[in-house]
Each structure stands twice: as structure tokens, then as C-alpha cells.
């Protein structure tokens, strides 16, 4: 579908501060309104209720922040991409800031499938206090637990899908966990998680580090498209060379 | 700046829909709270999703923030989860704009548009750390104000609200700002009482603590001002010309989905169709249309600013707007915004002309269309003055199904005056015929019958009528459901127990305040949410206060009875309302005074107002009970009512 009606662009944006409390769907709606406010020449889907052709990347949970979110949008005609970032940002709520827009090659792979690796900053904090005493989520005990996680060969967790509980090994998708140091409430870590063959939510990872811990502030810091052993920034992975050549 | 955000933020991780509490909507403000500014917190005492779209609140938010001497922010009732968290962590109620504590504002003003939200007002005050009873507040507490349609019988809320604004709020909020600003600058003469007494002198403002109430057993004897500079009757305020108030100019665009999530542009205020059950129609007279060009300009600017792809043209009966057909076709054919803009007309009239307009605007996706005949028989519709003939309804439905709609929804009231079982069964008869018409056009034709229990309201001809009790409403609804079994018509109904509780508050006097407080103390918030409503809380509270629910709800009032809202004036003469009540009982209809001679209900004559309408002829369409063919618009229909209003 991509590119069949016009000119796809990829938009990179943040979701930071108070606005992290809105849902993925709400972000989508905010963008649709912003596109209308800025009067972008949108390409629409066919059918009874035509919608702009927008495709979002990986969902971000309510409450999580991000420095690196992406969405692809199809335009009905080519436009200069340089002024778009500032223009769209102006029509978006505070905290959702478009920091780059690139023209995309026709038939570039969809973001959902293309992105294979995500980097997070995850704060590990004490969970609800238990009878046994105070939970220590300072860097030292957390680092010890992290070492145990990274040292294990398998990490089997229960997954509930469509009402059925299945077991899955999530160890292969944990690429890296680094303890950065103390945070106000606990310990700050940075982690890299693959999105294939299964995906791990930050809360699940924290529970694997220690059942007594909880996630505090969570921020997605990077997304990568891995292709032929190379890490590519989603903005650089599938550029529309032809268009740029025409424009110059 | 005193922002509570750092204390609120950690609580939001644990609540449902945290975005209800973050503000940040396009159009929202972070006003400067200088020492010279009077600060208003405008509160809608229901969830954010229901409260945010409220046009009244948004209009006042803008008007106040445009004034150099005022600053206004907003708040909504926190859902139960956040309310519990706020109490647990001792965080007070806050504004969503800058997260300022509610108690830091000079004025905390509530919009009361339904009786079942009353307990939420107490909840909000309590969460704010403001004493719920006005008598327990001192000079340092904010003034608690209420506006909205419910204030036309303010009495049940007088224990909790310091000052009510009766009628359109655009003008009085400015005058109140000046009044309180002057009082503050003058060194707060007379303390809190001095300020309230000054507020009582603002036209349209009712300060209940300035009145003495006397009872005669269960009956009310009098409500009298305690000082001679306090008005014995508080007259409602009316904006004479809507063209001077093109608000909201910057409608708020919420970040989460809310009800009526679209651009809303008000076509007109007031309605003189004269439906006798309809409080909104009665208390907002006369009709004041916005100039069509202003509507067009507001739609265009609004779509460009908000990015919405839908606009609703709002009013009590939008098809009655002069030249509605050309307005709609202009909007539909004008490619405003990025194209694909939808137009919607809430509150459709029941006739073929209206369906014609609907089909113009809903070119695609014709799923459902709603009509409100309200009464099941022509006789009953004359009683309630909803003058729709069966032919009007069938023509509308025929039009709808033939033009591709598959689902028709019909709204009815049960428990109306003089209603007999044949009237109730008439609803089933209409529904069956509607399905029959539908089946001629599509196999999938369906019809939903929505039934609400009638609650008599203040300042209507039905204010004297004894509401149907719970068992009577239940019996009628069951009868109707039984009669419509095995048909393609589905019946939906409103809980008769909630209708009963609404009846307690709707025509209550000051003694009902203690009942509302008891319901709230027993945990009864969000009473219009069926999962949180329990009639037992209300009946227990009535019993504890020694009050008889039936005396308030199901009893017919007599002509000479002092009504709790007699000292509040909507402009409608009591004689007119009583006469109209008598005409109603005789099943006499009354024509629309927009297009026929004035019958002197009192509003225009007393307040030196006039209808502001662009066309002096009725719109094309409904026969309005006259049997006259108005398919092309037309001449003034014949006068319906043989009874003239007795000269007072
Ligand atoms: S005063 Fe006359 S014209 Fe005005 S609303 Fe009443 S009946 Fe209609």
C-alpha cells in the first residue's frame, strides 16, 4: 500500500513530560488534527469513512516517555520536508516535539516490522512494601540481580495470550542491561531489548530483575532497524533518494 | 507558583485515564494570577470526558481570561480512584491548567446541568479542603458559586452554594469579578457577609443566605429577603443578542476522547416550540439566533484552529434555524479544512424536511437517525405540546429508510400528565409501524425505542404535576416491553429508581440539602452512573431527615401553593404557566410564538426582549399539528389554542 497513492514521509518525535499520560491512540488523533491544522496534502484510505494513511511504529504505554518515536504518513503530493518538523510541532501538544521529517522510499518496510531493537532508560524502584521489611532498590543490590539475569541461559516467564497461559523464554531478547547509578527513588538502568521473536515490556523486565521491584520512570531512548548486521536509524534506513535528487 | 503537579504526578501512575488530570488542551490557558486579578476556578462536577465539552464553561473560561482583572482555570470531578488517592496522600483538588490548589482561588464556580451531580459538588469542595456548608466558611475560603439550568430551582443546594447565577452567565461573571475585586481592594469591608451582600446586588445573582425561609408544617410558607437592598425576586439574565458573543473563539481540543468530540458552534439559544415538559425550552426564551454569516465564520475559523473533521451546529432544535438548509449546504460544499469535514445536527425535528437536511450532510455512513416524538399518541402529544402528527413521524421515517439509513432511534417519555395505558401502548404501535416502513426498504431495518421517566421541572407548566412513582413507571415500561416482544424493535429504558431520586432534587426545597449531604457522606458520588447509584442512600437520607419522599416527588401541587423557586424568575408569568397547565390537561396545543402572535408568556414583555430571528416564516417541514402543508416553508400556521391567557 505504501507509496501507491503518493509520497510517504517518516516523522520522528518525542513524547515527554505530562503528555506521557495520553495513550497511543490519543497521540495518533493529535497527529491527525495537527496534519489538518497545517493543511498537509493528505492521502486518504478508500471506503465509507476515509482516513489519512498513517502508520505508527511500536506502541508506547501510557505513562512511558520517549525520545524516539516514529510514524509514517502518506501525502498526496510531494512537499518540501525541511519546514515540516517545526510546523507540525507547533500544532501538537507540549511534549510531543517533531525533531525530524524525511521523505521515505516507496514500499519501505512498515515500522512495526522493521524496528527490531529498542533502547530504554528504566528506573528500578521498590515495589509495594511487604511485611518482610524495607525493599532496597539502590544500585548495589540491583546490579547484583542484573548480573544474575545476564548470567542465566534461560528466563522463562508466564505469558497470558487470549486467556491462555503459555511459557516463554525471554532471555534471548535481552541484549544489554547497564546499571547507570542511583536515582531519586531507586536505580537507573539502560537496557536494549529486541522486538523479535517476542517482545518484553519494561515492567516484565523489572519483575525478572527482582519480583520486589517496580518500574519507576521509563523512557524509550532509541529505536533501531537492524539489517544485514548493521544498526540503522529509522530516519536513515529507507530514504527517498529519487525525490531528493529531483528536488536538488 | 503554587503548582501541586509534583505531588499529583506520582498518583497518576495508579489511576484510570491519567490524562484526565493533565490539562494541556489546545486552547487552554495558564493565566497570570496577579494580586489585582480575581481568580475563578470553573468546575464541572462530573468526569473530564463529560465536562470538558461543556460550552457554557468554555465560554466563561474565555470571557474571564480576556479580562485584565480576572484569571480563570478549570477542574473536573476526579474519578473515584484519584479521589481516594488524593485523600490518602492529603493532596487537595486542583485546577487542570496550572495544577493550583482549588482553595487558592477567589471563586470556585460549578456548572450544574443535572440534579444527580449535586453530590459531586460536595465531593469536590471536600477534596478542595473547603467546608461543604456555606455557613462554616470564613473570609479566607473561596466564594462557592453555581450556574447552569439546575439553578432555576437552587433551593436544594443553598446549604452549599454561596451565590447562584440565574440565566446566561456572560454578563454577570464580569460584574461579579468587579464586585469581588472592589471588595478586596477596599479591605474586605463587612468580611464574608459584606461581600455576599454586595454580590446579592448584582442582577441575576441569588445569595441564599440573605433570605429567611418559613415553613408551615411540610409546606413552604415564604422565602423573604432579610435586607431591603436584597431583591425579593431574582430575575434571570439574558444575552439579548448572540452576535455580540461569538464564543468560544478558541474551543478546547482535548487530548483524550470526550463526549461531543468535535467543533461545536451554537446556532441559537431559546426555543418557543413550547414543549411543556422541557425546562431548557422554557427558561431560555426568547429565541436568539446567531447571524448565519457569523456561524459560517466561526465554523471556518474553528476547523482551521482545532484540526477537527466534524462540526456540530448546536441548539435546542437546529432545524428551526432560519435558512438552515442553505447554511448546511454551504458548509458541506465549501471545502473548509482539509476536506472530508462532517456536519452534524443534534436534536433533529421529526419531519421529512429535517431528514432531507440530514441526508445532505450524511452523504456516507448512514447508520442511525434519532427522533423524539416523546409521547405515544396524538392526544398525549397535544397534552405535552409536542405537536408532531403520526404523518410527520412516518414521513420522517420513510425519508430516513428510503435514503439509506437502517436504524431509527425513537425517544419517548413515560409518566407524563394524563397518560393512560393506551398512550403507552401507542409507543409500541408507532414502533411497529416504523419497523414496517423500514422493512419495505431494507431487511436490516431496526428501530430502538428509548424510554425515560418524566421528572417535572421548575418553571414549566408541569411544575405542579405529581411525578409517577417507581412502581408505576416500572409497570408501564414492562407493559411496553411485553408488547414489543418478538418485534424488530428494541426497548431501552432509564432506571425508574434514578428517576425518583432526580425527582427529589428537582423540586426540592432547602430541607433537601441535608438529604444531599447524607447521600454524599454515605459515599453516593457519581449518581448518574448507574453502577454507583443506590436508591437506598436517598430513601435512608429522607427518612433520617424525617421527610416524606412522596410529598416531594409524586404529589400534585395546587395553584396557591408556594413553590420553592417562586423567588427565582425565568420571566415566565406564573399565570401563564398555570393557564398552560390547564390547557395541557384539556389537550390543547399552543403555537410557536416565533411565527404567530405573542401570547405574552412574560419573557419578552417583562425584560424588553425580542426574538432575534432572520426569517419571519416557519421553516419548511412539519405541519406542527395544524394539518397545513408546509413542505416548502410557509405562511403562519393557524392558532391552535382556543383558550386565551386570562389577563392578569
Ligand atoms: S413574550 Fe410572547 S413572543 Fe416572547 S416568548 Fe413569550 S409568548 Fe413568545
Residue A235 domain-assigned?
no
| pLDDT for residue B365 | 57
| pLDDT for residue A6 | 81
- State yes or no: pLDDT of B135 exceeds 90: yes
B519 contacts: CB under 8 Å, gap ≥ 6: B119, B527, B537, B538, B541
Is the CB of B605 inside a 6 Å radius of any atom of ligand 1? yes
**A105 & A135 share domain:** no
Q: Cα angle at B541 between B523 and B503, to 5 degrees?
A: 95
Residue A139 domain-assigned?
yes
How many CB atoms are closer than 10 A to CB B586? 12
Is the CB of B596 inside a 6 Å radius of any atom of ligand 1? no
Is the CB of B645 inside a 6 Å radius of any atom of ligand 1? no
**A101 & A138 share domain:** no
Closest by CA position to A7, among listed A31, A42, A32, A50? A42
- Least confident piece of the model among B84-98, B431-445, B497-511, B627-641: B627-641
- Least confident piece of the model among B17-21, B390-394, B459-463: B390-394
**A130 & A97 share domain:** no
> CB-CB: which of A30, A39, A93 is closest to B338?
A39
The CATH number given to whatever domain includes residue A200 is 3.30.70.3190
What are the start-end ranges of the H helices in A138-216? 139-151, 202-209
> Which residue has the CA at smallest separation from atom 5 of ligand 1?
B286
For the purposes of burial, counting CB atoms within 10 Å of the CB of A170, is it exposed (0-12), middle (13-18) or buried (19 or more)?
buried
| Cα–ligand 1 centroid distance for B245 (angstroms) | 23
How many CB atoms are closer than 10 A to CB B326? 10
Q: Are B224 and B231 in contact (CB under 8 A)?
A: no
Residue A167 domain-assigned?
yes
Q: What's the average model confidence in pLDDT over B204-213?
A: 98
| pLDDT for residue B622 | 55
**A85 & A23 share domain:** yes
| pLDDT for residue A130 | 56
- Here the cell at position B12 is 497518576
Q: Are B316 and B281 in contact (CB under 8 A)?
A: yes
A73 contacts: CB under 8 Å, gap ≥ 6: A8, A9, A11, A31, A35, A40, A42, A52, A53, A54
Q: Using the 3D structure, point to which of A54, A82, A114 is the last residue of a domain.
A: A114
- State yes or no: pLDDT of B167 exceeds 50: yes
Is the CB of B610 inside a 6 Å radius of any atom of ligand 1? no
DSSP state of B464: G
- Here the cell at position B639 is 392558532
- State yes or no: pLDDT of B427 exceeds 70: yes
> CB-CB: which of B13, B304, B365 is closest to A63?
B13
Per-chain mean pLDDT for chain B = 92
Please identify among residues 77-106 of chain A the ones whose CB lies closer than 8 Å to any CB of chain B.
91, 93-95
**A107 & A14 share domain:** yes
What is the C-alpha to C-alpha distance for residues B133 and B125, in angstroms, rounded to an integer?
9
Closest by CA position to B426, among listed B476, B362, B386? B476
| pLDDT for residue B363 | 61
- State yes or no: pLDDT of B636 exceeds 50: no
Ligand 1, atom nearest to B285 Cα: 5
**A20 & A42 share domain:** yes
What is the C-alpha to C-alpha distance for residues A79 and A9, in angstroms, rounded to an integer?
10
Cα–Cα distances (Å) from B319 to B315, B544, B619, in that order, read 9, 48, 8
Domain total of chain A:
2
pLDDT digits (tens, 9 = 90+) for B539-585: 999 999 999 999 999 999 999 999 999 999 999 999 999 999 999 99
What is the C-alpha to C-alpha distance for residues B76 and B94, in angstroms, rounded to an integer?
9
Q: pLDDT band for B278, please (50, 70, 90 cuts).
A: very high
| pLDDT for residue B389 | 87
Please identify among residues 9-38 of chain A the ones whose CB lies closer than 8 Å to any CB of chain B.
18-19, 21-23, 26, 29-30, 32-37
How close does chain B come to A26, measured CA to CA in Å? 6
Cβ contact A26–B338 (<8 Å): no
Closest by CA position to B377, among listed B388, B366, B369, B367? B388
Residue A246 domain-assigned?
no
Q: Per-residue b/e over A193-220, b at no fewer than 16 CB within 10 Å?
A: bbbeeeebebebbbbbbbebbbbbbbbb
How many CB atoms are closer than 10 A to CB B186? 11
| pLDDT for residue B643 | 42
| Cα–ligand 1 centroid distance for B603 (angstroms) | 6
- State yes or no: pLDDT of A71 exceeds 70: yes
**A176 & A207 share domain:** yes
**A97 & A130 share domain:** no
The CATH number given to whatever domain includes residue A19 is 3.30.70.580
| Cα–ligand 1 centroid distance for B285 (angstroms) | 8
Is the CB of B396 inside a 6 Å radius of any atom of ligand 1? no
Interface probe with B: pick from A36, A97, A202, A215, most Cβ of B within 10 Å? A36
Q: Give the DSSP per-residue string, B583-640.
A: HHHTT-----TTTS-----SHHHHHT---B-S-SSPPSB--TTTT--BBTB-SPPPP-
Q: Using the 3D structure, point to which of A92, A114, A136 is the last residue of a domain.
A: A114
**A98 & A23 share domain:** yes
Residue A238 domain-assigned?
no
Could you say which architecture CATH assigns to the domain B5-235?
3-Layer(aba) Sandwich (3.40)
| pLDDT for residue B644 | 40
Interface probe with A: pick from B11, B21, B251, B307, most Cβ of A within 10 Å? B307
| pLDDT for residue B352 | 73
> CB-CB: which of B13, B24, B309 is closest to A93?
B24
Nearest chain A alpha carbon to B337: A36
- Least confident piece of the model among A25-39, A49-63, B89-103: A49-63
| Cα–ligand 1 centroid distance for B138 (angstroms) | 43
Tell which wins on pLDDT, B35 or B448.
Answer: B448
Residue A135 domain-assigned?
yes
pLDDT digits (tens, 9 = 90+) for B385-412: 998 889 889 988 998 888 888 899 999 9
A81 contacts: CB under 8 Å, gap ≥ 6: A9, A101, A102, A103
| Cα–ligand 1 centroid distance for B627 (angstroms) | 23
pLDDT digits (tens, 9 = 90+) for A50-67: 788 999 999 999 999 999
| Cα–ligand 1 centroid distance for B584 (angstroms) | 18
Residue A244 domain-assigned?
no
A13 contacts: CB under 8 Å, gap ≥ 6: A69, A70, A71, A89, A92, A96, A97, A98, A99
- Least confident piece of the model among A158-172, A224-238, B266-280: A158-172
**A121 & A110 share domain:** no
| pLDDT for residue B360 | 75
| Cα–ligand 1 centroid distance for B599 (angstroms) | 6
- Here the cell at position B316 is 435546542
Is any Cβ of chain B less than 8 angstroms from the Cβ of A48?
yes
Nearest chain A alpha carbon to B363: A48
Is the CB of B286 inside a 6 Å radius of any atom of ligand 1? yes
- State yes or no: pLDDT of B589 exceeds 60: yes
What is the C-alpha to C-alpha distance for residues B557 and B536, in angstroms, rounded to an integer?
26
Considering A123-137, B343-357, B382-396, the range whose residues carry the highest mean pLDDT is B382-396
- State yes or no: pLDDT of B168 exceeds 90: yes
Q: Are B308 and A33 in contact (CB under 8 A)?
A: yes
For the purposes of burial, counting CB atoms within 10 Å of the CB of B137, is it exposed (0-12), middle (13-18) or buried (19 or more)?
middle
Spans of all domains in chain B: 5-235
Range of the domain at A140: 117-227
Cβ contact B364–A32 (<8 Å): no
| pLDDT for residue B337 | 46
Is any Cβ of chain B less than 8 angstroms from the Cβ of A218?
no
**A86 & A129 share domain:** no
Q: What are phi and psi of B615, to 5 degrees?
A: -125, 135
A126: left (phi over 0), alpha (psi -120 to 50) or beta: beta
Residue A247 domain-assigned?
no
- State yes or no: pLDDT of B50 exceeds 50: yes
- State yes or no: pLDDT of A133 exceeds 90: no
For residues A108, A110, A111 and A116, what is the CA-based torsion angle, rounded to 10 degrees? -90
| pLDDT for residue B379 | 94
**A58 & A148 share domain:** no
Cβ contact A21–B22 (<8 Å): yes
What is the C-alpha to C-alpha distance for residues B299 and B303, in angstroms, rounded to an integer?
6
| Cα–ligand 1 centroid distance for B461 (angstroms) | 15
Per-chain mean pLDDT for chain A = 91
DSSP state of B37: P
What is the C-alpha to C-alpha distance for residues A96 and A13, in angstroms, rounded to an integer?
6
Composition of chain A by helix, strand, coil, percent to 5: 25, 40, 35
Cβ contact B23–A23 (<8 Å): no
| Cα–ligand 1 centroid distance for B286 (angstroms) | 7
- Length of chain B counted residue by residue: 648
For the purposes of burial, counting CB atoms within 10 Å of the CB of B622, is it exposed (0-12), middle (13-18) or buried (19 or more)?
buried
Provide the 3-class DSSP secondary structure of residue B461: helix
| pLDDT for residue B459 | 98
- Here the cell at position B231 is 431583591
What is the C-alpha to C-alpha distance for residues B639 and B226, in angstroms, rounded to an integer?
45
| pLDDT for residue B323 | 85
Nearest chain B alpha carbon to A64: B13
Chains A and B form CB pairs within 8 A to the count of: 66
> CB-CB: which of A26, A34, A50 is closest to B256?
A26
Nearest chain B alpha carbon to A33: B307
Is the CB of B599 inside a 6 Å radius of any atom of ligand 1? yes
| pLDDT for residue B340 | 66
Q: Are A133 and A176 in contact (CB under 8 A)?
A: no
Is the CB of B594 inside a 6 Å radius of any atom of ligand 1? no
Cβ contact B18–A95 (<8 Å): no
What is the C-alpha to C-alpha distance for residues B170 and B148, in angstroms, rounded to an integer?
12
What is the C-alpha to C-alpha distance for residues B179 and B176, in angstroms, rounded to an integer?
5
Nearest chain A alpha carbon to B263: A33
How many CB atoms are closer than 10 A to CB B377? 20
Interface probe with B: pick from A15, A16, A22, A32, most Cβ of B within 10 Å? A22
Q: For a pocket test of ligand 1, which of B240, B570, B603 has the largest count of ligand atoms closer than 8 A to its C-beta?
A: B603
How close does chain B come to A124, measured CA to CA in Å? 15
Provide the 3-class DSSP secondary structure of residue B214: strand
Amino acid at each position: 500500500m505504501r507509496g501507491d497513492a503518493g509520497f510517504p514521509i517518516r516523522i520522528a518525535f518525542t513524547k515527554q513530560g505530562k503528555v506521557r499520560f495520553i495513550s497511543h491512540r490519543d497521540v495518533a488523533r493529535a497527529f491527525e488534527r495537527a496534519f489538518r491544522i497545517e493543511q498537509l496534502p493528505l492521502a486518504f484510505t478508500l471506503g465509507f469513512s476515509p482516513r489519512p494513511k498513517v502508520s505508527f511504529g511500536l506502541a508506547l504505554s501510557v505513562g512511558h516517555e520517549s525520545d524516539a518515536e516514529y510514524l509514517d504518513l502518506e501525502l498526496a503530493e510531494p512537499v518540501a520536508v525541511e519546514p515540516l518538523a517545526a510546523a507540525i510541532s507547533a500544532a501538537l501538544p507540549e511534549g510531543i516535539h517533531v525533531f525530524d521529517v524525511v521523505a521515505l522510499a516507496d514500499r519501505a518496510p512498515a515500522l512495526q516490522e522493521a524496528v527490531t531493537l529498542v533502547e530504554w532508560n528504566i528506573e528500578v524502584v521498590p515495589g509495594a512494601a511487604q511485611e518482610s521489611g524495607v525493599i532496597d532498590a539502590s544500585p548495589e543490590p540491583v546490579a547484583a540481580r542484573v548480573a544474575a539475569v545476564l548470567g542465566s541461559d534461560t528466563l522463562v516467564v508466564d505469558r497470558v495470550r487470549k486467556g491462555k497461559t503459555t511459557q516463554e523464554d525471554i532471555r534471548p531478547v535481552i541484549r544489554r542491561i547497564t546499571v547507570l547509578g542511583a536515582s531519586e527513588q531507586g536505580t537507573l538502568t539502560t537496557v536494549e531489548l529486541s522486538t523479535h521473536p517476542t517482545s518484553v515490556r519494561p515492567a516484565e523486565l523489572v519483575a525478572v530483575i527482582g519480583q520486589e521491584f517496580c518500574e519507576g520512570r521509563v523512557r524509550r531512548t532509541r529505536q533501531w532497524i537492524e539489517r544485514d548486521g548493521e544498526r540503522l536509524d529509522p530516519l536513515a534506513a529507507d530514504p527517498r533518494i529519487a525525490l531528493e535528487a529531483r528536488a536538488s | 507558583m503554587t503548582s501541586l503537579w509534583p505531588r499529583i504526578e506520582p498518583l497518576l501512575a495508579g489511576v484510570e485515564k491519567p490524562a484526565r488530570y493533565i490539562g494541556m488542551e489546545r486552547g487552554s490557558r495558564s493565566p497570570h494570577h496577579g494580586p489585582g486579578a480575581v481568580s475563578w476556578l470553573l468546575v464541572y462536577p462530573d468526569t473530564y470526558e463529560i465536562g470538558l465539552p461543556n460550552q457554557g464553561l468554555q465560554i466563561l473560561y474565555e470571557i474571564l481570561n480576556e479580562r485584565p482583572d480576572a484569571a480563570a482555570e478549570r477542574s473536573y470531578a476526579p474519578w473515584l480512584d484519584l479521589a481516594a488517592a488524593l485523600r490518602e496522600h492529603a493532596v487537595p483538588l486542583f485546577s487542570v491548567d496550572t495544577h493550583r490548589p482549588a482553595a487558592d482561588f477567589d471563586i470556585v464556580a460549578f456548572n450544574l446541568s443535572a440534579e444527580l451531580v449535586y453530590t459531586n459538588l460536595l465531593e469536590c469542595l471536600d477534596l478542595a479542603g473547603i467546608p461543604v456548608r456555606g455557613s462554616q466558611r470564613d473570609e479566607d475560603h473561596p466564594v462557592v458559586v453555581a450556574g447552569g439550568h439546575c439553578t432555576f430551582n437552587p433551593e436544594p443546594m443553598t446549604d452549599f452554594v454561596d451565590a447562584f447565577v440565574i440565566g446566561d452567565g456572560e454578563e454577570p461573571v464580569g460584574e461579579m469579578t468587579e464586585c469581588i475585586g472592589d471588595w478586596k481592594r477596599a479591605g474586605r469591608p463587612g468580611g464574608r457577609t459584606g461581600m455576599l451582600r454586595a454580590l446579592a446586588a448584582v442582577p441575576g445573582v441569588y445569595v441564599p443566605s440573605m433570605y429567611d425561609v418559613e415553613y408551615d408544617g411540610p409546606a413552604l410558607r415564604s422565602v423573604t429577603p432579610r435586607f431591603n437592598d436584597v431583591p425579593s425576586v431574582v430575575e434571570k439574565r439574558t444575552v439579548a443578542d448572540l452576535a455580540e458573543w461569538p464564543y468560544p473563539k478558541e474551543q478546547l481540543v482535548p487530548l483524550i476522547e470526550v463526549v461531543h468530540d468535535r467543533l461545536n458552534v451554537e446556532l441559537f439559544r431559546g426555543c418557543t416550540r413550547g414543549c411543556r415538559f422541557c425546562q431548557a425550552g422554557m427558561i431560555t426564551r426568547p429565541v436568539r439566533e446567531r447571524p448565519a454569516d457569523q456561524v459560517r465564520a466561526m465554523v471556518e475559523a474553528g476547523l482551521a484552529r482545532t484540526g477537527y473533521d466534524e462540526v456540530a451546529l448546536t441548539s435546542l432544535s437546529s432545524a428551526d434555524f432560519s435558512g438552515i438548509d442553505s447554511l448546511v449546504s454551504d458548509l458541506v460544499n465549501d471545502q473548509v479544512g482539509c476536506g472530508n469535514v462532517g456536519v452534524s445536527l443534534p436534536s433533529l425535528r421529526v419531519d421529512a424536511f429535517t431528514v432531507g437536511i440530514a441526508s445532505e450532510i450524511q452523504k456516507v455512513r448512514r447508520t442511525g437517525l434519532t427522533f423524539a416524538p416523546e409521547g405515544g399518541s396524538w392526544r398525549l402529544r397535544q397534552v405535552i405540546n409536542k405537536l408532531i402528527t403520526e404523518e410527520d413521524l412516518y414521513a420522517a421515517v420513510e425519508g430516513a429508510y428510503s435514503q439509506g439509513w437502517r436504524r431509527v432511534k425513537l425517544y419517548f417519555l413515560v409518566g407524563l400528565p394524563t397518560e393512560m395505558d393506551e398512550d403507552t401502548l401507542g409507543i409500541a404501535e408507532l414502533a411497529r409501524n416504523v419497523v414496517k416502513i423500514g422493512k419495505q426498504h431494507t431487511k436490516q431495518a431496526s428501530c430502538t425505542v428509548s424510554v425515560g421517566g418524566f421528572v417535572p421541572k421548575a418553571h414549566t407548566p408541569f411544575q405542579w404535576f405529581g411525578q409517577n412513582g417507581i412502581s408505576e413507571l416500572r409497570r408501564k415500561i414492562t407493559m411496553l416491553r411485553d408488547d414489543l416482544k418478538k418485534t424488530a424493535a428494541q426497548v431501552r429504558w432509564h432506571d425508574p429508581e434514578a428517576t425518583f431520586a432526580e425527582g427529589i432534587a428537582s423540586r426540592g426545597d432547602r430541607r433537601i440539602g441535608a438529604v444531599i449531604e447524607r447521600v454524599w457522606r454515605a459515599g453516593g458520588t457519581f449518581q448518574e452512573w448507574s453502577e454507583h447509584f443506590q436508591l437506598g442512600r436517598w430513601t435512608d437520607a429522607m427518612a433520617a431527615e424525617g421527610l416524606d419522599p412522596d410529598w416531594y416527588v409524586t404529589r400534585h401541587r395546587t395553584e396557591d401553593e408556594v413553590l420553592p423557586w417562586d423567588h427565582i424568575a425565568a420571566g415566565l408569568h406564573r399565570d401563564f404557566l398555570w393557564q398552560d397547565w390547564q390547557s395541557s390537561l384539556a389537550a390543547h396545543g399552543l403555537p410557536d410564538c416565533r411565527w404567530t402572535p405573542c401570547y405574552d408568556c412574560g419573557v419578552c414583555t417583562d425584560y424588553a426582549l425580542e426574538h432575534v430571528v432572520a426569517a419571519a416564516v416557519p421553516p419548511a417541514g412539519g405541519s406542527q399539528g395544524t394539518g397545513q402543508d408546509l413542505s416548502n416553508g410557509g405562511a403562519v400556521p393557524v392558532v391552535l389554542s382556543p383558550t386565551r391567557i386570562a389577563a392578569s
